[in-house]
Structure 1
Amino acid sequence: MLLTALAPGLAWAQAPQFPSDTVRLVVPYAAGGATDIVARAVVDKLAARWGHAIVVDNKPGAGTTLAAAQVARGAGDGHLLYMTTSAHTISGLLYKKLSYDPLKDFAPLTLIAKVPLVLVVRPTLNVKNLDEFTRYVQSNADKVSFASPGNGTAQHLTGEMFNATMKTQMVHVPYKGDAPAITDLMGGSVDAMFATLTVVLPHIASGKLKAIALANGKRIEKVPDIPTFGELGLKNFEAATWFGVLAPASLTPALRERISGDIRAVVGQPDLKARLVDLGGEVVSSTPAEFDTFMQAEFRKWQDIVKQSGAVIN
């Protein structure tokens, strides 16, 4: 009994010193975007906690798959980490040929936060709520358009999920990023968009876009007046851009728990937590097991939607 009780402590004591070198956090997007902002905020706190330098390595390209492939091949010693988004699980369904498995080749550490998607419409669209929007779309089959930052993104697939759920036929208009999509939406060239809340917060506040509903399980502190789809009768209609940290699958269980615990500790600091909330986020700070369960559920959720949309990347 005594040996059993002491075993976890002995294992911890025998674990190698960590970190023993510079830690590299790979981000699959360019500097300045939401993922990069969150990554650098976490890194600042984590470097101080560890007493070691942490370098943010921006590796954009191919819908996050270039960066993910590099991390999947890396050493699982804790010195290579990966902050990614919902694109990570979706990529496994979109790309015909990947050199890695988005679930099996990574060790989930923690889901830091989720930023829900919000249905926003052009200011000249004469609808005030979800019921009016749905009736408008249903009575204008093939005439109502919705924008997204690209084929196969969570924003695109959420629009297809709405079409499937409500038996509507909105036409998808893909753009090369959020900025041009939102510009055209505000200008009236397209009718609606399932947008990441962070990106459209200022436009909602200024009245340049009308917010209809949040694709989230509960209301968000930053915008308490925007109802959820669930409140409006569309149960389990949830979609988000999320920020989570992974490592190569070969990371040991002891290091996985250690690194996850340290990241969760800094995310829990009031100033960092407040910054994430200010971005329109819902702070999650999950355990590795909880994050693993979440990623599995995300993969299953998008599987049918990807098939229905016909989205594929060779």
Structure 2
Amino acid sequence: MRNFGRVKLSTWLLAAMPLALAGSNAGAQSTYPAQPIKMMVGFAPGSATDVLSRVVAQGLSERMGQPVVVDNKSGAGGSLAADAVAKSKPDGHTLLFVSSAIAVNPAVYPKLTFDVNADLTPISLVGRAPLVMLVNQSVGVKNLSEFIAKAKTKPGALNFGSSGQGGAAHMATELFSMTAEVKLVHVPYRGNSQAITALLGGDVDLMMDTLINALPQLKSPKIHPLAITGDARSALAPDVPTFREMGLPQFDTRVMFGVMGPANMPKTMVDRINKEIAATLKSKDVASRLSEAGGLTLDGGSPEEFRLTLRKELAMWKKVAAEAKVVADQ
């Protein structure tokens, strides 16, 4: 009888353990966040991704009851920060603010140390920023149609600069070349500022850049904006026509921004962060600051919607990289 009692007690304890653990996890989630949240950014301070991440982080700080601190870990097109988050604890205290690079990198870096689909959790799409096509005045074109015509007349005679091999701007220009059926020569630089300097100096003919980076260049007499992506003109650059207006509606890629976390985050935690991001984006102050920072069109939406958007972006950039034969420098 004594042994039978012990067996019954052991069986009861084993059965109760999952319930106790579940209660413990629920308790941990109910007190979330229990400490400051680190939001990692894979680009340097002052970059478009960094600027936008800080606006979102400040809004989240006010809603989450804990500081949300931006931590810049630049390198490998944002992959170093993504790898660090992928390897972090899925407790919601380490997040990743991403740009389109998160979808581009798997297509151009053959040796990534993480898998976007398997090792990261989509939490919320934040928004999309338009891209502006800038041309040096020495090229002698007044609009996009004239540029395309000139490029088709002399295949490979015109070049374009970017912030680096396999970067978002490089890939966007490759996509433009395929869409417009023109051949352009890529000239990569080590950073956006160097590429802009080259464009201003006439060392390169063309450059695709986010509106947030391009705004100061629009005032230069050496630079002429040809077109901007998006459904409508930006209030920040009302004189710049859209690609749709200029007869190229099929080219409408924009830089995507969002928030992700490590894999295996509890759904309740993901939903909580998603909810607070949505509320942050609805704030008039945050929406205004994001719009002023770079003409950002706010998206939001559910984690699943963000997951589907990522899959589409991953497939698109994989196709572009394969066709253009792009491999980033490791």
TM-score, shorter chain, exceeding 0.5 = yes
**Cα distance, 1:69–1:43 mapped onto 2, change above 3 Å:** same
- Deviations for 1:129-169, whole angstroms, at most 9, x for unmatched residues? 11111111111222111111111112111222222222211
**Cα distance, 1:158–1:53 mapped onto 2, change above 3 Å:** closer
Aligned partner of 2:321 in structure 1 is: 306
**Cα distance, 1:297–1:219 mapped onto 2, change above 3 Å:** farther
Aligned partner of 2:216 in structure 1 is: 202
Asked if 1:145 corresponds to 2:156, the answer is no
**Cα distance, 1:182–1:294 mapped onto 2, change above 3 Å:** same
Displacement, 1:87? Answer: 0.9
**Cα distance, 1:70–1:15 mapped onto 2, change above 3 Å:** closer
Displacement, 1:14? Answer: 9.4
**Consecutive aligned runs of 4 or more in structure 1 exceeding 4 Å deviation:** 11-15
> Using the alignment, how far apart are the partners of 1:271 and 1:29 within structure 2?
25
* Matching residue within 162, 167, 173 for 2:181: 167
Q: Which structure has the larger Rg over C-alpha atoms?
A: 2
Displacement, 1:34? Answer: 2.0
> Using the alignment, how far apart are the partners of 1:272 and 1:247 within structure 2?
22
Aligned length: 304
> Using the alignment, how far apart are the partners of 2:323 and 2:40 within structure 1?
32
Aligned partner of 1:108 in structure 2 is: 122
Asked if 1:285 corresponds to 2:297, the answer is no
Aligned partner of 2:309 in structure 1 is: 294
The alignment's TM-score, normalised by the length of structure 1, stands at 0.91
* Matching residue within 177, 199, 221 for 2:235: 221
> Using the alignment, how far apart are the partners of 2:67 and 2:38 within structure 1?
9
Aligned partner of 1:3 in structure 2 is: none
The 3-state SS of whatever aligns with 1:284 is strand
> Using the alignment, how far apart are the partners of 1:253 and 1:234 within structure 2?
41
**Is contact 2:121-2:261 (8 Å) kept?**
yes
CA RMSD of aligned residues (A): 2.0
Displacement, 1:78? Answer: 1.0
Gaps of 5+ in 2: 1-24
The alignment's TM-score, normalised by the length of structure 2, stands at 0.86
Which residues of 2 match residues 34-183 of structure 1 at below 5 A?
34-183=48-197
> Using the alignment, how far apart are the partners of 1:41 and 1:165 within structure 2?
34
> Using the alignment, how far apart are the partners of 1:159 and 1:54 within structure 2?
34
One-letter amino acid of the structure 1 residue matched with residue 105 of structure 2? S
- Deviations for 1:170-220, whole angstroms, at most 9, x for unmatched residues? 111111111111111112111111111111112113444211111323332
Relative to its length, the structure with more helix (as a share) is 2
The 3-state SS of whatever aligns with 1:121 is strand
> Using the alignment, how far apart are the partners of 2:28 and 2:262 within structure 1?
22
One-letter amino acid of the structure 1 residue matched with residue 108 of structure 2? L
> Using the alignment, how far apart are the partners of 1:53 and 1:160 within structure 2?
40
Displacement, 1:12? Answer: 8.7
> Using the alignment, how far apart are the partners of 1:200 and 1:272 within structure 2?
21
Aligned partner of 1:275 in structure 2 is: 289
**Is contact 1:217-1:236 (8 Å) kept?**
no
